[in-house]
Amino acid sequence: MLSVRLAWRNLFRNTRRTLLTCTLITSSLMVIILVDGMVLGMVEVMVGGITHTLEGEAQVNRKGFRENLEPELRLMKPDPITEALKNDERVSGFAPRVMVGGMIASTYNTSGGLIYGVDYQAEQQVSKLKQALIQGSYLTGAKREILIGKLLAELLEVDLGDRIIISAARVGTSDITQELFRVQGIFEFGPEEMDENFAFINLEVAQAMLGMEGQLHQIAIRFNDPEDAKDSKLPTLVNLREAEVEALGWLDLQPSVGGMIEMSNYASTIAGAVLFVLTSLGVINSMFMSIYERIYEFGVAKAIGTTPGQIISLVLFEAFFLALIACLLGIVLAYGASSYFEAHGVPMGRMEVAGVLLDGNLYTKVEAYQFVVFPVYVTLLTLAAAIYPAIFASRIVPSQALQRAL
Amino acid sequence: MKTVIETKNLARVFGAGETRVTALDHVSITVKQGEFTAITGPSGSGKTTLLQLIGGLDEPDSGDVLLSGANIAQMSGAKLSDFRRDHIGFIFQSYNLIPVLSAEENIEYIMLLQGVPEKARKSRVREMLALVGLEGLGDRRPSNLSGGQQQRVAVARAMASKPDIILADEPTANLDSATGIALLEVMRDLNQQMNMTFVFSTHDYKIMDRADRLIHLEDGVVQLDEFRNS
């Protein structure tokens, strides 16, 4: 097809301009792919921070418990729930817990804190408690062992093996109960709130201490497919819900993080849109320069019978080829850059976002759709940007274009 | 001989007020099939305007242009484009060819617009190149052809669509004298061999001498219309 050949060859009439425009489009595509990869990476870190640190991807709680951690609001008969979770193929693991606010005292100091009673084996399927240990060892099920945060250890001036007294109110009676523990391990999750206030003891010890044998406050869940947790109508969760029991995924448990993720997506969409607009202006400018340079030629082409539609096709073909070259280049370069940052990360320092610690490097996510969808967007955008110059070219009046001759 | 061009009271005015210029003042001419007509006159006499109006590249303020009986002054848009493509061949003064296409492709281009099948196109291209004496140079791009050769390609392109008339505005203006005359000889041969109607503008006396008919314009008015060799 001659007009296709013509369009292709026209691109190389002014190689410098074509290269500059290609560079603009290529750079935009690269930035869009990299930004998307970084946002995906950040979201993954944030979601991982929430779901894998302690909270789990979903939780079963007594309604109202999460709001003020009122110990009385417990799961009175958790066995049917744990049984259902055991038999659910979607669930990869779940961790039963009791949680109570209490006083944590050492020989030297006292602090308020949140004491978790955990099943040390089940907990490993859901949280990173074991991985967070920086000193000592993990729970073994023994009665007196306790894990505390690094900051709490500093506050209480205790070290491994030191004695700690936990005081808490028993559920039902509110009688004060006390138990002696010895520091088995010291953990560091990252967020100050956790490292300064949290302590973990074995589940059965906590149940006995609080007078709630066979009862729980919370069951944290992990799924085989993390996407399941985003589905608020997931049968696993829906079937566990009762009048007084809620079963929610992390998006419902942490709406602020959901909002942050949504905001990140909006931010990257806006950044992409701004970039698209700037690229469009560059493409429009380049196409107009190309048309003005060839205005006499368009006059000749129209004079000999080229229709306005054929002129529009020609300019759009040129834009298409421009986008094609730029996108191919952009895909290769963006893949290289994204893969590099996926392996080595982007240094981001240490920051806490919505209670989630982002520490060290941010690793971009490389997804196949980035190299299909975004180039298609960029190509469509380039074509859209070329429509105005194409219409302009199609409306060139031959007699005016040919002022210097017929 | 059948009439292929007829202009009736053709008028064209540019500008307004003090800058108003009457480019053509009620020009009526008739050109018959096979004529080799030169439009002459000094700069600003209206030669180019007359050719543009005959070619449907500009619209008259008043009057009619009939090409093979069709009034192109009343055509517009794609209909006019199609008419130009099928009935009129153009030769321009310079920058005539599409630089990124070879000589063959430039000639082929107009036939592509016409939807001529590939085999017929290729055959016609070869025929046209032979007619203008450019066999073997078809694969060259315009930048690799001399000015005279480029104008010959332009003539071949104008002929390729088998038009009723060929309009040329000072086709030799950018050529040296010998090349200009050689080009005109090519046009003349085609006119005589194929009975093709040529209307061209010039202010070169050597070129005028080769025309059958001279239409002399001054200030947009026909001052002289004479048949010479026929």
Q: How far is B127 from chain A (nearest CA, A)?
A: 20
Query: Closest-CA residue in chain B for A398?
Result: B57
- Give the domain-ending residue among A252, A286, A306: A252
Residues 6+ apart with CB under 8 A from A252: A232
Please report whether residue A207 resides in a domain: yes
Residue showing tokens 């000094």: B42
Please report whether residue A7 resides in a domain: yes
Please report whether residue A149 resides in a domain: yes
CB contact under 8 A, B81 and A308: yes
Please report whether residue A150 resides in a domain: yes
Please report whether residue A294 resides in a domain: yes
How many other C-beta atoms can be found within 10 angstroms of the C-beta atom of residue A358? 18
Judge contact between A114 and A101, C-beta under 8 A: yes
In b/e form, how buried is each residue of A146-164, taking b as 16+ CB within 10 angstroms? bbbbbbbbebbebeeebeb
Q: Which of A2, A9, A303 sits opposite B109 (nearest CB)?
A: A2
**Residue from B160, B156, B154, B188 nearest B174 by CA:** B154
Please report which confidence band the pLDDT of residue A80 belongs to, taking 50, 70 and 90 as the band edges: very high
Judge contact between A340 and A33, C-beta under 8 A: no
pLDDT of residue A254: 82
Q: How far is B171 from chain A (nearest CA, A)?
A: 9
Q: Which of B57, B78, B105 sits opposite A402 (nearest CB)?
A: B57
**Residue from A116, A354, A86, A65 nearest A221 by CA:** A86
What is each CA distance from A393 to A87, A119, A290, B78, in whole angstroms? 68, 74, 10, 15
DSSP A156-172: HT--TT-EEEEEEEPTT
Q: Give the residue numbers spanning the domain of A341.
A: 2-49+262-402
Percentage, residues of chain A above pLDDT 90: 59
Same domain, A60 and A202: yes
DSSP state letter for B92 = -
Q: Which of B55, B84, B98 sits opposite A406 (nearest CB)?
A: B55
d(CA A22, CA A223): 45
Return the SS3 of A86. helix
d(CA A194, CA A221): 19
Put simply, the chain A residues between 13 and 42 with a CB less than 8 A from any chain B CB are 13
Dmax (CA) of chain A: 106
* Contacts with A391 from chain B: Cβ below 8 Å: none
Does A300 contact chain B (CB < 8 Å)?
A: yes
- Give the domain-ending residue among A252, A274, A304: A252
pLDDT tens-digit readout, A314-331? 999 999 999 999 999 999
Can you read off the two tokens belonging to residue B30?
């008739």
DSSP state letter for A115 = E
Please give the angle made by the CA atoms of A124, A127 and A128, to the nearest 5 degrees: 85
Comparing A1 with A75, which gets the higher pLDDT?
Answer: A75
Q: Where would I find the H helices in A51-149?
A: 65-68, 79-86, 120-126
Q: Which of A300, A310, A398 sits opposite B113 (nearest CB)?
A: A310
Judge contact between A207 and A98, C-beta under 8 A: yes
- Give the domain-ending residue among A202, A228, A252: A252
Same domain, A200 and A78: yes
- Note the ipTM here: 0.84
What is each CA distance from B152 to A192, A210, B38, B92, in whole angstroms? 85, 105, 18, 11
d(CA A197, CA A114): 6
d(CA A128, CA A356): 14
Query: Closest-CA residue in chain B for A296?
Result: B95
Please report whether residue A257 resides in a domain: no
Same domain, A228 and A289: no
Judge contact between A165 and A105, C-beta under 8 A: yes
Q: Which of B89, B101, B167 sits opposite A6 (nearest CB)?
A: B101
A241, HSE (Cβ side, Cα atoms, 13 Å): 12
Instruction: Say how many residues make up chain A.
Output: 406
Look up residue A103 and give its amino acid: M
Same domain, A107 and A242: yes
pLDDT tens-digit readout, A254-308? 887 778 788 888 888 888 888 888 888 888 988 888 888 888 888 888 888 888 8
The dihedral built from the CA positions of residue A295, A300, A301 and A307, taken in this order, carries a sign that is positive
Does A77 contact chain B (CB < 8 Å)?
A: no
Please report which confidence band the pLDDT of residue A6 belongs to, taking 50, 70 and 90 as the band edges: confident
pLDDT of residue A170: 92
In a mutational test of the A interface, the residue from B98, B125, B201 whose CB has the highest number of chain A CBs within 10 Å is B98
Percentage, residues of chain A above pLDDT 70: 97
Please report whether residue A40 resides in a domain: yes
Q: Which of B48, B77, B90 sits opposite A304 (nearest CB)?
A: B90
pTM confidence score: 0.75
CB contact under 8 A, B109 and A10: no
d(CA A141, CA B50): 105
Same domain, A159 and A178: yes
pLDDT tens-digit readout, A135-186? 999 999 999 999 999 999 999 999 999 999 999 999 988 899 999 999 999 9
Rg (Cα) of chain A, in Å, rounded? Answer: 31
CB contact under 8 A, A405 and B94: yes
Would the pLDDT of A357 be above 70?
Answer: no
Q: Where would I find the H helices in chain B?
A: 47-54, 77-87, 103-114, 118-131, 147-160, 177-194, 205-208
pLDDT of residue A405: 39
Q: Which of B57, B78, B93 sits opposite A303 (nearest CB)?
A: B57
Please name every residue paired with A206 in a beta bridge, in sequence order, or none if there are none: none
CB contact under 8 A, B105 and A2: yes
Same domain, A217 and A301: no
pLDDT tens-digit readout, A98-123? 999 999 999 999 999 999 999 999 99
Residues 6+ apart with CB under 8 A from A151: A192, A195, A196
Same domain, A398 and A266: yes
Query: Closest-CA residue in chain B for A401?
Result: B57
The domain total for chain A is: 2
pLDDT tens-digit readout, A30-69? 999 998 998 888 888 878 877 888 889 999 999 999 888 8
Residue showing tokens 């900051």: A151
Q: How far is B193 from chain A (nearest CA, A)?
A: 23
* Contacts with A2 from chain B: Cβ below 8 Å: 101, 105, 108-109, 112
Please report which confidence band the pLDDT of residue A345 belongs to, taking 50, 70 and 90 as the band edges: confident
pLDDT of residue A352: 67
* Contacts with A310 from chain B: Cβ below 8 Å: 113
Instruction: Output phi, psi for B184, to 5 deg.
Output: -65, -35
Same domain, A248 and A274: no
pLDDT of residue A355: 61
Helix, strand and coil in chain B, % to nearest 5:
40, 30, 35
Same domain, A82 and A24: no
Would the pLDDT of A86 be above 80?
Answer: yes
CB contact under 8 A, A304 and B86: no
Would the pLDDT of A406 be above 60?
Answer: no
pLDDT of residue B144: 94
Same domain, A39 and A77: no
Same domain, A128 and A33: no
Residue showing tokens 């566990």: A240
The dihedral built from the CA positions of residue B128, B133, B135 and B138, taken in this order, carries a sign that is negative
Mean pLDDT on A372-379: 93
CB contact under 8 A, B58 and A399: yes
Same domain, A298 and A340: yes
Q: Which residues of chain B have pLDDT under 70?
A: 95, 229-230
In a mutational test of the A interface, the residue from B47, B50, B88, B90 whose CB has the highest number of chain A CBs within 10 Å is B90
**H/E run at residue A187:** strand A176-187
pLDDT tens-digit readout, A195-236? 999 999 999 999 999 999 999 999 999 999 988 888 888 998
Residues 6+ apart with CB under 8 A from A229: A51, A57, A58, A221, A223, A249, A250, A251
Would the pLDDT of A404 be above 60?
Answer: no
pLDDT of residue B95: 60
pLDDT of residue A354: 60
Return the SS3 of A179. strand
pLDDT of residue A266: 85
Q: How far is A393 from chain B (nearest CA, A)?
A: 14
- Mean pLDDT taken over chain A: 90
Does A304 contact chain B (CB < 8 Å)?
A: yes
**Residue from A257, A323, A245, A235 nearest A44 by CA:** A257
Q: How far is A279 from chain B (nearest CA, A)?
A: 27
pLDDT of residue A358: 67
